[in-house]
């Protein structure tokens, strides 16, 4: 009797153990298949997004030179005038029409500072003028049309062509509060400054000039940033002090006109339509047809980008700033 009972318990226990082990193996297989599928889908998504990003960059013809992670602190941006170089190819301009002094870029050195290895940059500048800038831009377009290797310049080779870098542009996206929450402000650039047709652009675009110096005569990129906000939007020092964020993000080479620039953001807790749009700005009517505020929501932004034409590097700056806000542009 006891032997029969023991055999029954043993047989039932073995059977239950078998089913338990079999179920565990099946569950493990299902989990592995699920995790493997998720990893594969994630890799496919990442590859697709990287491919789309590269296609967009190729389409707008922009080369990344350096990216702040997340930004270049203003104290880590050093600029100096080394105009002795510029004199080598600018001073031979007998009879040149003077059209305003400005700065070009002779050299860029990206580095790290402090224990936290914060990103920094040293910018060497040379003095030139707007007419020289137009001449070198014309020469670049001619070389580019003839298939010259300058059109294939990249982050490793671009400094070979430093005489062509007769400008440095500060490109800023303004973010405000509005009736629809956070809003980004875009400008519709006048056809007079956008190559013959009106195109959408980031809020402010300004070139570094001789006026952007501190009281000690040192060139200061933030002064160019402030001047652009004042001249194109009417944002003076009092309003500037109300900002919740102002930062420089990415240095880049725009290859449509072969110009070096930096992306930036200026964020205010003010309503653009009520508080900023009515301000008087010197260059507003000359360079901008209109300003437009959009809700900072992926659906609204991507729909607008899909249906409208942009200044190429303006779209690059728009994308780079929005990435810091967790908004991703989809392929057009």
Task: Pick the closest to residue 80 from 276, 185, 273, 214 (CA basis).
Answer: 214
Tens digit of pLDDT for each residue in 190-225?
A: 776 656 678 999 999 999 999 999 998 899 999 999
Handedness of CA 186, 191, 196, 197 (dihedral sign): positive
Residue 7's contacts (CB-CB under 8 Å, 6 or more residues apart) are none
| Structure-model confidence comparison of residues 293 and 88, the more confident one | 293
Q: For position 55, what pLDDT does the model report? A: 65
Euclidean distance between CA atoms 275 and 272, whole angstroms: 5
Residues of the chain with pLDDT > 90: what percent? 55
Task: Pick the closest to residue 100 from 128, 134, 138, 58 (CA basis).
Answer: 128
Residue 319's contacts (CB-CB under 8 Å, 6 or more residues apart) are 56, 329
137: its two tokens: 């831009």
Tens digit of pLDDT for each residue in 85-129?
A: 444 444 444 444 446 789 999 999 999 887 788 889 999 999 998
Residue 315's contacts (CB-CB under 8 Å, 6 or more residues apart) are 56, 60, 305, 329
Query: What is the domain partition of the chain in residue ranges?
Result: 61-324
Residues of the chain with pLDDT > 70: what percent? 82
| pLDDT of 284 strictly over 90 | no
- 61-324: CATH number: 3.90.79.10
Q: 49 pLDDT band (50/70/90 cuts)?
A: low
Per DSSP, the three-state class of 182 is: strand
Question: Hey, how many other C-beta atoms are within 10 angstroms of the C-beta on 87?
Answer: 12
Q: 6 pLDDT band (50/70/90 cuts)?
A: very low
Q: For position 99, what pLDDT does the model report? A: 61
Tens digit of pLDDT for each residue in 122-171?
A: 999 999 988 899 999 999 999 999 999 999 999 999 999 999 999 999 99
Contact 201/315 with Cβ under 8 angstroms? no
Number of H helices, E strands in the chain: 8, 11
Q: Tokens 């009520």 label which residue?
A: 274
Q: For position 92, what pLDDT does the model report? A: 45
Q: 3 pLDDT band (50/70/90 cuts)?
A: low
Tens digit of pLDDT for each residue in 35-44?
A: 888 877 776 7
Tens digit of pLDDT for each residue in 220-255?
A: 999 999 999 999 999 999 999 999 999 999 999 999
Q: For position 98, what pLDDT does the model report? A: 43
Euclidean distance between CA atoms 268 and 11, whole angstroms: 76
Task: Pick the closest to residue 258 from 81, 136, 122 (CA basis).
Answer: 136
Query: pTM value?
Result: 0.77
Q: For position 75, what pLDDT does the model report? A: 81
| pLDDT of 322 strictly over 60 | yes
| pLDDT of 84 strictly over 80 | no
Mean pLDDT of the chain: 84
Euclidean distance between CA atoms 209 and 101, whole angstroms: 6
Going from the C-alpha of 238 to that of each of 64, 177, 230, 279, the distances in angstroms are 34, 18, 11, 13
Task: Pick the closest to residue 213 from 204, 205, 201, 221 (CA basis).
Answer: 221
| pLDDT of 12 strictly over 80 | no
Beta bridge partners of 201: 187
């Amino acid at each position: 009797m006891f032997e029969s009972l023991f055999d029954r318990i043993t047989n039932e226990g073995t059977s239950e153990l078998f089913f338990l082990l079999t179920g565990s193996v099946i569950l493990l297989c299902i989990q592995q298949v699920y995790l493997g599928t998720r990893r594969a889908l994630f890799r496919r998504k990442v590859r697709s997004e990287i491919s789309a990003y590269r296609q967009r960059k190729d389409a707008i013809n922009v080369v990344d030179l350096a990216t702040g992670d997340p930004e270049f602190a203003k104290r880590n941006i050093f600029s100096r005038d080394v105009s002795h170089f510029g004199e080598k190819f600018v001073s031979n301009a007998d009879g040149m029409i003077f059209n305003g002094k400005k700065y070009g870029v002779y050299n860029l050195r990206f580095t790290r500072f402090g224990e936290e290895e914060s990103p920094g940059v040293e910018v060497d500048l040379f003095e030139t003028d707007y007419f020289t800038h137009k001449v070198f831009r014309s020469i670049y377009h001619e070389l580019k049309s003839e298939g010259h290797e300058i059109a294939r310049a990249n982050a490793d080779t671009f400094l070979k062509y430093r005489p062509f870098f007769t400008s440095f542009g500060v490109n800023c996206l303004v973010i405000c509060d509005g009736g629809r929450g956070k809003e980004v402000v875009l400008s519709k650039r006048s056809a007079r400054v956008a190559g013959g047709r009106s195109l959408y652009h980031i809020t402010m675009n300004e070139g570094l000039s001789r006026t952007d110096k501190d009281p000690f005569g040192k060139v200061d990129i933030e002064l160019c940033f402030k001047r652009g906000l004042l001249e194109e939007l009417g944002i003076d020092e009092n309003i500037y002090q109300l900002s919740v964020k102002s930062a420089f993000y990415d240095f880049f080479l725009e290859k449509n006109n072969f110009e070096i620039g930096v992306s930036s953001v200026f964020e205010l807790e003010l309503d653009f339509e009520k508080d900023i749009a009515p301000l008087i700005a010197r260059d507003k009517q000359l360079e901008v047809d209109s300003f437009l505020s959009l809700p900072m929501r992926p659906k609204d932004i991507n729909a607008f980008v899909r249906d409208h034409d942009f200044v190429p590097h303006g779209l690059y700056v728009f994308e780079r700033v929005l990435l810091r806000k967790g908004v991703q542009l989809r392929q057009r």
